Structure 1
Amino acid sequence: MDASLATRRLGRAAAAALAVALAATACSSQADGTADDAAKTVVPTVGAEDNNPQPLDRIKDGGELREPLQQWITQWNPYQVDGTYGDAVEIMGYLEAKLFRSDAKGVYQPVPEYLVSAEVTSTSPQVVTYRLNPKAAWSDGKPIGYQDFKAVWQASNGKDPAYNLADSSGYEQISAVEQGASPGEVKVTFAQPYADWQSLFNPLLPAAGISTPKEFNEGWIEKVPVYGGPFVLQNADKTAQTITLAPNPKWWGPKPKLDRITYRVMDSAAITQAFLNNEVDYASAGTATAYGQLKDAKDAAIRTGTPWDEVHISFGGNGALADQKVRQALGRALDRASLIKIANKGVPVEFKPLDSHLFMTNQSGYRANAGDWVKYDPAVAGKLLDEAGWKDAGGTRGKDGHPLELHYVMSDGSTQAQADLAAAVQSMLQQVGVKLSIDKVPSKEYFSKYINQGRFDLASWRNTGSFPLSRTVPIYRAPQGDNVFGNYSKLSTPEIDSLLRKAAATLDPAQAADLYNQADVRIWELGHTVELYQRPSIVAVRKGLANFGAGSLADTVITSVGWQK
C-alpha cells in the first residue's frame, strides 16, 4: 500500500477514465520481521470519514499544507487521455468548477458555489436542468454558462477523433446542450438515458480552453490556462519538482483556510522519512515498515478508511492469451489467497478478498461473483490448457512447436513484496507448465509505453475512485478502432458491452446494480482480470490538520482544510 503504487483513478473527481489514479504492481511492502497475524491491529473505518472534522471557526486562517506527489504532472486536462493521473485529477478539482462532491456514502451532492440546483426534469427523453450560481465565473471574467457545458460535451462525445479522449461514457449519450430559460440555466438532453449524469461535467472546464482539438490536447500541457475553483496554480517548478497552489483571488465562495498547498515529487521510499523530518504533512502508513515508523512519530495522527481502491492482475489479449481457455486456466492456476497473504504480510490491517470487478465490498450492490473462475485448482488449469492445445511435455507446455511463454510486466520501482508477489505468480504458473518471465520496465514508462499500449501478458495495478459505477465501463467495454478507452487488454464481448451500457442507462439503482452484477459474472468468465483485494487506506497526517485524512468514498472539501486553532 505504498504511495508509489501504480494507480489508475477512475473518475470520482473528474471525467477521468483512468489514471486513473498512476509505479509498481501490488499493494504492499516487505515485512520487517513483524509476525504476519500479529500485525492485524488496525481496523479501517467503513462508510465514514476519518479526517478530524472541525467547524470552520475552529480552524486557523492561513498556513500551508505540504503533500508528496507520485509523479510530475504534465497534462492537466482530466478529459484528455494523458490527464488521468490520480493526483492531477484530485488537484484539478481544486482549480476548476467541481459541480458535485460525493459524501462519505458515495452519494453526489451539488456544490452550492456552482449550482443552485441540478435535477432530472424529464425522463422521456431524459433532460437534466442545471441552475447556475449567478456568481460563478472563470478567472478570465466570463460567467460560467451553457457554452462551457457544450464545449465539454462536444470534445468528449467521441464524434471527433482529433480529441484524444480518456472516456466518452455519458457524453456520447447526450443529444443536445442548450441554454435554458435564462443565461443562468443549462438544459442537457440525452438520446439514451444515463443514470450517472451527476458524474458528467465534473469538473467543468471553460470553453475557452477546450473548443478545438489543439486546445484540448495541448493547451493544458504544463499549464492551466483558465481557473474556476478556489485555488490557482501559483507555481510549477519542474527543476525542483514542486507545485504550489494559492487561493484564487477571484473566488466568490468561502475563502480557503489555507494560503498555500505545496506538492513535491519524491520517491516512495523517501516519503516516510520526509514526514519524520517535518517536510510533508501527509504520508502513507500502509506498509509494515512505514506504519511502524509513523504510528508513534511526533505530531503524527494515523487515520484509516475504506475507499474505492482495488488491486488486481490483468491478462493481456495477445498471443496465447487471445484464447479464453488459456486465460481461464491462469485464473485457476493462481492461488489468490496466497497472493493476498504475500501482499498483506506485516501490514497492520487485513486485506479482504474482492470478488467483484465493479463494486467494492462496502458498496451498496456488492455481490461475490467470482464463483469457480478463480478457485485454485492446478488440475483444472492443466485440463483447460490441454483443451486449448497446449500439451504438457514434462516442462513448459507447447503448441505447434511454440513454448507457452508469457511476460509479467512490472515497474522497476516496485517494492520487494511486489516482486515477491510476481515471483509467486511465476511459481504458480510454472506448476501448470507455463513459463513466465518477469520484465521490469522504467516506472515512468510503465503506463505510457506498456499498460496503455497493451504490451503485457500479466500486469498488476490499482484502480481507485471508480464511482459512480459507470466509471468502470471503460475498463471492460469493447474498443472502437484504435481507442481502447481503459480496456488495455482489448478483451470484451458483445454481451458484456450490452449489459454495461444497459446498466449505465438504468435510472433505478437496484435494477442498475443487478445489470452490473450480471456483467461482472461474464467478466469473470471472460478471464479479463483476477481481482485480488480491496485496498484499505492507512495514512499519517500531521496532528492538528482538520478536515483531511482518510475518507471512504467522500471528496475533500478543500476550502475547509486547515490547521486547528
Structure 2
Amino acid sequence: MDAASTVRRLGRATALAVAVALAVTSCTSAGGGSVGDVAKSEPPRLDANDINPKPLDQLKDGGEVRLPLYQWITQWNPFQVDGRYGDAVDIMRALEPDLFTTDASGTFRANPDYLVEAGVTSTAPQVITYKLNPKARWSDGKPLGFQDFKADWEASNGKKDGYNIADSAGYELISSVEQGADPTEVKVTFAEPYADWQNLFRPLIPAAGIATADDFNKGWVERIPITAGPLKIGVADKTAQTLTLVPDESWRGTRPKAAKITFRVMSQSATTQSYLNNEIDLAAAATATAYGQLKDAKDTVIRSASPWDEVHISFGSGGPLADRKVRQALGKALDRSALIKIANNGVPVEFKPLGNHIFMPNQVGYQDNSGEWGKFDLPAAKKLLDEAGWKDTGSGQPRTKDGGQLELHFVINDSTPQAQIDLATAAAAMWLAAGVKVDLDKVPKNDFFTKYVDPGKFDIASWRNTDSFPLSTSLLNFRLPVGDNVFGNYSKLGTPEIDALLKKGAGTIDPVEAAKYYNQADARIWELGHTVELYQRPTVVAVRKGLANYGAFGLATTDYTKIGWEK
C-alpha cells in the first residue's frame, strides 16, 4: 500500500511514494485480474540494506541512471518549511556538504570530503568541535567556515522573524557558534545537552545563500544559488518535468561514476509501466499489483530493506475535529489489523503493525503504546461521539449536532490508483458505521501538500513520514505550532507536555533513559487523537540488473557518487 505523498525528515535521505489507501474488502489489481497473497518473508533487519554493493573499480565510467521523481521540486532549501519534500533533501545532500553519512544500522560517520574529524570536546557545557577539510569549497570559491554554521544556526533557531523554518530542534539549544583555533575549526556550544548533534547542519547551507529572510524563503525556489557537492544540476526542465544531476567539474573528492542521473516526474502508479518500457531503472514494488507485474520482468531484481517509514492517517484540528473525543472515536472505528492485512496482500515482505509514532518495531526502544486508542472498538467509538454531543440518527446515517451533520473530508491525491481509491472508500464505510460521513476529495497531485497538507486544510489526510531518524527529529511532527509555523505538525495538534517530553528525550544522552521520555510522549500522542499509525512500510523495489550501490537503503545514506553500472 502506497502513500500519495511522503514527508521526509532532515534525519537522512530515502525514496518517496504516494497517499495511503485503506480497505476492509478484498484487493484486486488495477488491470491484471485478482491478486492472490504471496509467501511472506520477515521484514529485513534494521541493520541491513539491499543495494548490490560494489567497489568503484568494478563499475563502468559514465552512463546514465534513470530514476522516478514523484513531485516537481520547487523549494530547494531543506531548512525552509516547504523544502522538506522527500527527494529534495536526498538530492541536496549530493549538491551541498553532507557532513555526516549513516550506515545501514543508522550509525553516523564523519564524511571525509568535508570533515577531518568532529566530536564532543566538552560536556559542561556540551561543545562540539568540527575540524573542516581545508579543500572543501563552495561553488563561489569560498572555503567552508564557521560563518556558514553560524548562519544556519541563526536561521533555524526560531529567533529570527520572517524565517519560515522547517525545524528548530537542536538549533534552539545552541548558545554560540564561533571559530576555533584556526579558520578550519568550528566550535558549537550548547546551552543544554543535545544527543543528536550529528544530525545538525545536514546538509550545510552557505551563509551567502540565506543572509536575509527573503533569501532563506525565496532564494532557493526553482534554483540552487551555491553548491559544494560532487554533483550539480545539469538540466531542470519544469515543462518536461525532468531533472538531471551531472558531476561537478570543480569537485575535489571522489568523482561520481555515472555521467548523468536523470529524474523524471511521474505518478507512483505510472512507474510500473515506465519501468517495463525501459524508461526508468527502478520502480516501487510494495503493492500487490506492482509486485505482480515487476517480479518476473526481464533483467530485474527485487531489493528490500527496513527503513524508518510509516503509513498513517492524520486528523485535522478544525470543525468537529477540534474535539478530542471525535478524533479518538475516528481512531477506534478503524480496524487496523484488517487494514494492514489487506495492505500486505500480494506483497512478499511482512508489514509489521505499528504501535508507536517515534520508534519502528525493529528499533531498540520500541514498545506498543497504542493501548485503547489503537484498538478497534466500534461501541466505544460510538460512545465517545455520544459524549461529544453528536446524536445517533440510525444505521448508515451521519450523526447530527445543533442542526448540522457530522460530515468530514478525506483529501486524496488525484494520481492515486483506482484500486487505492476503492480501498479508501471502504475505510470511509468503517467510519460511517460509527455515524461519521467521510467524503473522498481528490485534489491535484502537485497541490496535495502545498494547498492542503502544509497549511493544515484537511479533516483527514494520509501520507508517509519517512526517515524520522534520529529520534529527536520526531519533535518536528508533533510540536505545538508557533504562529503560522506548523513545522511538520500539519494537524496543528499538540500539548506542552508532549513538547516537553520530546525535548527531554532529545537532551538525554543515555539512549535507555531517552527512550523512556520518547515512549511517554508517544502514549500522549495516541491519547491526543493526532495520528493513527498503521504499519512500518518496508522498501520493496524492482531494480535493473547491473545497477550497483542503489536500491533499498534501510537507514543508510544514499551515496550518489557510487551509483553506477557494473562492468
TM-score relative to the length of structure 1: 0.95
For 1:286, give the aligned amino acid.
A
For 2:19, give the aligned amino acid.
A
Cα distance in 2 for partners of 1:245, 1:266 equals 18
Asked if the contact 2:22/2:426 (under 8 Å) is kept, the reply is no
Asked if the contact 2:102/2:109 (under 8 Å) is kept, the reply is yes
From 20, 25, 28, the equivalent of 2:20 is: 25
1:130 aligns with 2:130: yes
Structure 1 residue 342: Cα displacement: 3.0
SS at the partner of 1:390? coil
Question: What corresponds to 1:67 in structure 2?
Answer: 67
- Mapping 1:225-264, distance limit 5 Å: 225-264=225-264
Asked if the contact 1:50/1:550 (under 8 Å) is kept, the reply is yes
CA deviations 1:88-118 (Å, max 9, x no partner) are 1111011110001111111111111111111
Q: 1:415/1:379 Cα in 2 relative to 1: closer, same or farther (>3 Å)?
A: same
From 414, 417, 429, the equivalent of 1:415 is: 417
Cα distance in 2 for partners of 1:337, 1:237 equals 43
Structure 1 residue 306: Cα displacement: 0.9
SS at the partner of 2:480? coil
Asked if the contact 1:339/1:424 (under 8 Å) is kept, the reply is no
SS at the partner of 1:81? coil
Cα distance in 2 for partners of 1:322, 1:528 equals 11
From 515, 518, 521, the equivalent of 1:513 is: 515
Q: 1:401/1:466 Cα in 2 relative to 1: closer, same or farther (>3 Å)?
A: same
1:190 aligns with 2:190: yes
Cα distance in 2 for partners of 1:82, 1:20 equals 18
CA deviations 1:385-429 (Å, max 9, x no partner) are 112222223232222222222221111111233223322221111
CA deviations 1:497-539 (Å, max 9, x no partner) are 1101111111111111111011001111111110001111111
From 526, 532, 537, the equivalent of 1:524 is: 526
Cα distance in 1 for partners of 2:56, 2:117 equals 24
SS at the partner of 2:202? coil
Structure 1 residue 35: Cα displacement: 5.0
Structure 1 residue 293: Cα displacement: 2.1
From 538, 561, 565, the equivalent of 2:563 is: 561
Cα distance in 2 for partners of 1:286, 1:27 equals 15
SS at the partner of 1:310? strand
Cα distance in 2 for partners of 1:304, 1:231 equals 27
Cα distance in 2 for partners of 1:11, 1:497 equals 19
Cα distance in 2 for partners of 1:27, 1:270 equals 20
CA deviations 1:142-174 (Å, max 9, x no partner) are 111101101111111111121121111111111
Q: 1:26/1:462 Cα in 2 relative to 1: closer, same or farther (>3 Å)?
A: farther
CA deviations 1:306-329 (Å, max 9, x no partner) are 111100011111111111111111
The alignment-based identity, stated in percent, is 62
CA deviations 1:58-98 (Å, max 9, x no partner) are 11222211111111111111111121111111110111100
Asked if the contact 1:21/1:87 (under 8 Å) is kept, the reply is yes
1:101 aligns with 2:96: no
Structure 1 residue 27: Cα displacement: 8.3
From 494, 499, 502, the equivalent of 1:500 is: 502
Question: What corresponds to 1:325 in structure 2?
Answer: 325
Cα distance in 2 for partners of 1:472, 1:361 equals 16
Structure 1 residue 270: Cα displacement: 2.6
**Structure 1 unpaired stretches of 5+:** none
Structure 1 residue 355: Cα displacement: 0.5
Q: 1:154/1:21 Cα in 2 relative to 1: closer, same or farther (>3 Å)?
A: farther
CA deviations 1:154-207 (Å, max 9, x no partner) are 111111121121111111111111001111100001112211111110000111
For 2:259, give the aligned amino acid.
D
**Mean Cα deviation higher: 185-194 or 5-14:** 5-14
- Mapping 1:425-464, distance limit 5 Å: 425-464=427-466
- Mapping 1:301-450, distance limit 5 Å: 301-394=301-394, 395-450=397-452
TM-score relative to the length of structure 2: 0.95
Q: 1:206/1:377 Cα in 2 relative to 1: closer, same or farther (>3 Å)?
A: same
**Structure 2 unpaired stretches of 5+:** none
Question: What corresponds to 2:7 in structure 1?
Answer: 8
Cα distance in 1 for partners of 2:534, 2:12 equals 24
Cα distance in 2 for partners of 1:525, 1:102 equals 33
Corresponding residue pairs, total: 559
Cα distance in 2 for partners of 1:76, 1:153 equals 18
Asked if the contact 1:66/1:263 (under 8 Å) is kept, the reply is yes
Structure 1 residue 267: Cα displacement: 2.8
Cα distance in 2 for partners of 1:320, 1:138 equals 51
Asked if the contact 2:4/2:462 (under 8 Å) is kept, the reply is no
